[in-house]
Chain A
Amino acid sequence: MNNRHVVVAGCGNTGSHLLPHLARMASISRITLVDPDCYEPANLAVQNIDRTDVGRPKVEAQAEKLRRIRPSLGAWGLDVIALQDRIENLPRGLLMSDLIVSCLDSRSSRQRVNEIAWRLNTPLADCGVLGSQKLARVDVYVPSPEGNCVECNWSHEDYSQIEQQYLCGAGSGAAFPTMASSALGALAASLMSIEIAKILDGKRGEPVAARQVIVGAEHHFAQLSTSKRNPNCRFDHRSWFVEPWDCQPETMTVGEAIDALGSLQIEGHLWVAEMVCAGCGRRGEKQLRLNRPLARCPACNRRMASSGFGSLERLDRRFAGEFASLTLAQAGLRAGDIVSGGFITACCNWRRHERESLQRNGSNLSAFHGIPVRRGHGACGCERHPAPACASHGSAALCCGVPVQGACQECAG
């Protein structure tokens, strides 16, 4: 298996040290980078970046480094996709992969990534560093009917410490800085990349699953522990069974989609009909949309809130009403979104081979429908940049300044 796809969430301290290791792994052929931020001057002290990276989006700076280590062209090419957004705002189909790696620093993001990994039935490798005690930690979670998740050992206090953002503008939702040195981040990254190699080598389930490795550099100890499913865990440990759905978000309307599926739900998102701004009192125009929490007030840039109890998890024909003629794209759906309909609500844990046998048998159990992702030019995966055509050869050459997979060397140069 030499065509693995790995999603890396977070390109900070550990993430920036981990990525060069991943680029050198022969089994990985595609890496998706997810991070909403840009590098700041303070990051130079602890992260694996240089001065030219300051001010640039983290994902773009890292993607460029990865392409310098291993270009996308050639037999041993590495396809790098940079997504500058918070992972919970992205269509889940873009994150379907063989492994999700979490190099995040906040409890709330870890919780989101955990949920995404379980829904997509994808192994999750999570790492953490604690600067004060020089601890580096790596956890591996593999979704299975008995498997444990990130939240399995969380107590009420852990939930109380989830970073919050308030309506009044206080609290940015950001985590406390971990105060970890560059060396500690690199230690966690090295541990992590060794575990990742084990997972990708096909030892799925054993012996890496449910294991936690902690290295304490201050007092010189290493600790291995295994965890079990907590029967009182607040997370439901559900996985999706996803089948492709032939749908063009730009042309299919909300009404047509509801006719086809019974109703529309994008799990992890809510439908909102009206937005208001707590900062300046501005009311957004009435329009149905998904609450990808990207929406900020155009006047004061504060995060907007949904007005009244208008938000809905599942959109049916009655609520869609006047909005039924909007296209799915206008309502905020994007390629890669995973939609569940209204006819079937049950879904449970399937392991991958069970999934495949279900697909072979043409089973009717599918509850989720993925809008296909069209990667016309493959290199950056973005939809903003249509592939420019090479004048002499008529094929795509560069996207976002990066040579496109399959383009001729002449065009790419």
Chain B
Amino acid sequence: MGIWFPQDYLRRADGFEMLRVFTPRIWHPNVSADLPLICIGHLTPGTSLVDILYQVYDILTYQKYNPREDDCLNRGACSWAREREHQFPIDGRPLKRRSLQLEVKPL
């Protein structure tokens, strides 16, 4: 997983540009199987790095997923996930204590 911050990332956040997956063949409705794309949902300017990582962890462990056929990145995984909703999340543990709050201040 790679996160690229543009110079003005406190002002704009474009998931098209900022988020990349490097590990191929992740089986998830919101991660593309062969393209380096992942959709983590709402990404706002100044979202802190830890929050992005939490979001990615929640997605990879199926704590969060959006199995909508019309706006997913992997249709096969999408119908697969619909049939197995009772098995999710595959890992329910939190990544870390949630109290960590990093304040982002502009320079």
Q: Which residues of A contact B (CB under 8 A)?
A: 108, 111, 151, 156, 159-160, 162, 164-170, 232-236, 270, 276, 278, 281, 283, 291, 293, 303, 305-309, 311, 313
The listed residue (B8, B12, B16) touching A306 by CB distance below 8 A is: B16
Whether B84 is near chain A, meaning CB under 8 Å from some CB there, is no
The answer on a CB contact under 8 Å between A278 and B73 is: yes
Q: Evaluate whether A305 and B37 lie within 8 angstroms (CB atoms) in the complex, with A168-B30, A278-B73, A281-B32 already known.
A: yes
The answer on a CB contact under 8 Å between B43 and A313 is: no
Pick the most buried of A156, A167, A281: most chain B CB atoms within 10 A of its CB: A167
Determine how close the nearest CB of chain A comes to the CB of B10; give it in whole angstroms.
Answer: 5
The listed residue (A111, A164, A168) touching B11 by CB distance below 8 A is: A111
Determine how close the nearest CB of chain B comes to the CB of A170; give it in whole angstroms.
Answer: 5
Q: In whole angstroms, how far apart are the Cα atoms of A310 and B7 in the complex?
A: 16
15 contacts between A and B (CB under 8 A): A111-B11, A151-B11, A159-B11, A159-B44, A160-B45, A164-B42, A167-B37, A167-B73, A169-B70, A234-B10, A278-B35, A281-B34, A303-B16, A305-B17, A309-B2
The answer on a CB contact under 8 Å between B39 and A166 is: yes
Pick the most buried of B7, B11, B44: most chain A CB atoms within 10 A of its CB: B11
The answer on a CB contact under 8 Å between A167 and B105 is: no
The answer on a CB contact under 8 Å between A159 and B46 is: yes
The listed residue (A108, A234, A307) touching B35 by CB distance below 8 A is: A307
Across-interface contacts of B4 in A (CB, < 8 A): 309, 311
The answer on a CB contact under 8 Å between B41 and A166 is: yes
Q: In whole angstroms, how far apart are the Cα atoms of A168 and B71 in the complex?
A: 5
The answer on a CB contact under 8 Å between A233 and B106 is: yes
Whether B89 is near chain A, meaning CB under 8 Å from some CB there, is no
The answer on a CB contact under 8 Å between B11 and A166 is: no
The answer on a CB contact under 8 Å between B39 and A168 is: yes
Across-interface contacts of B64 in A (CB, < 8 A): none
Across-interface contacts of B105 in A (CB, < 8 A): 232
Determine how close the nearest CB of chain A comes to the CB of B13; give it in whole angstroms.
Answer: 8
Determine how close the nearest CB of chain B comes to the CB of A331; give it in whole angstroms.
Answer: 18
Total contacting residues, chain B, CB less than 8 A: 35
Q: Evaluate whether A308 and B36 lie within 8 angstroms (CB atoms) in the complex, with A156-B46, A168-B71 already known.
A: yes
Q: Evaluate whether A168 and B17 lie within 8 angstroms (CB atoms) in the complex, with A232-B106, A308-B36, A313-B7 already known.
A: no
Whether B72 is near chain A, meaning CB under 8 Å from some CB there, is yes
Determine how close the nearest CB of chain B comes to the CB of A280; give it in whole angstroms.
Answer: 10
Q: In whole angstroms, how far apart are the Cα atoms of A242 and B34 in the complex?
A: 43
* Nearest chain A residue, comparing its CB with the CB of B41: A166
The listed residue (B8, B15, B30, B70) touching A164 by CB distance below 8 A is: B15
Given known contacts A170-B71, A236-B8, A309-B2, what 19 new A-B pairs fall within 8 Å (CB)? A111-B11, A151-B11, A159-B11, A159-B45, A162-B12, A164-B15, A167-B38, A167-B39, A169-B70, A234-B10, A235-B8, A278-B32, A278-B39, A281-B32, A281-B34, A293-B16, A306-B16, A307-B36, A308-B20
Whether B66 is near chain A, meaning CB under 8 Å from some CB there, is yes
Determine how close the nearest CB of chain A comes to the CB of B37; give it in whole angstroms.
Answer: 5
| B:1-25 near A, CB below 8 Å | 2, 4, 6-8, 10-13, 15-17, 19-20
* Nearest chain A residue, comparing its CB with the CB of B32: A278
Q: In whole angstroms, how far apart are the Cα atoms of A311 and B2 in the complex?
A: 13
* Nearest chain A residue, comparing its CB with the CB of B45: A159
* Cβ contacts B52-68/A at 8 Å (1 or 0 each): 00000000000000100
The answer on a CB contact under 8 Å between B46 and A281 is: no
Determine how close the nearest CB of chain B comes to the CB of A334; give it in whole angstroms.
Answer: 21
The answer on a CB contact under 8 Å between B17 and A306 is: yes
Determine how close the nearest CB of chain A comes to the CB of B103; give it in whole angstroms.
Answer: 10
Determine how close the nearest CB of chain A comes to the CB of B7; give it in whole angstroms.
Answer: 7
Determine how close the nearest CB of chain A comes to the CB of B18; give it in whole angstroms.
Answer: 10
Determine how close the nearest CB of chain B comes to the CB of A299; give it in whole angstroms.
Answer: 14
* Nearest chain B residue, comparing its CB with the CB of A235: B11
Q: Evaluate whether A166 and B71 lie within 8 angstroms (CB atoms) in the complex, with A235-B11, A281-B32, A313-B7 already known.
A: yes
Determine how close the nearest CB of chain B comes to the CB of A175; give it in whole angstroms.
Answer: 16
* Nearest chain B residue, comparing its CB with the CB of A160: B44
Q: Evaluate whether A162 and B44 lie within 8 angstroms (CB atoms) in the complex, with A270-B17, A278-B35, A305-B37 already known.
A: yes
Pick the most buried of A151, A307, A308: most chain B CB atoms within 10 A of its CB: A308
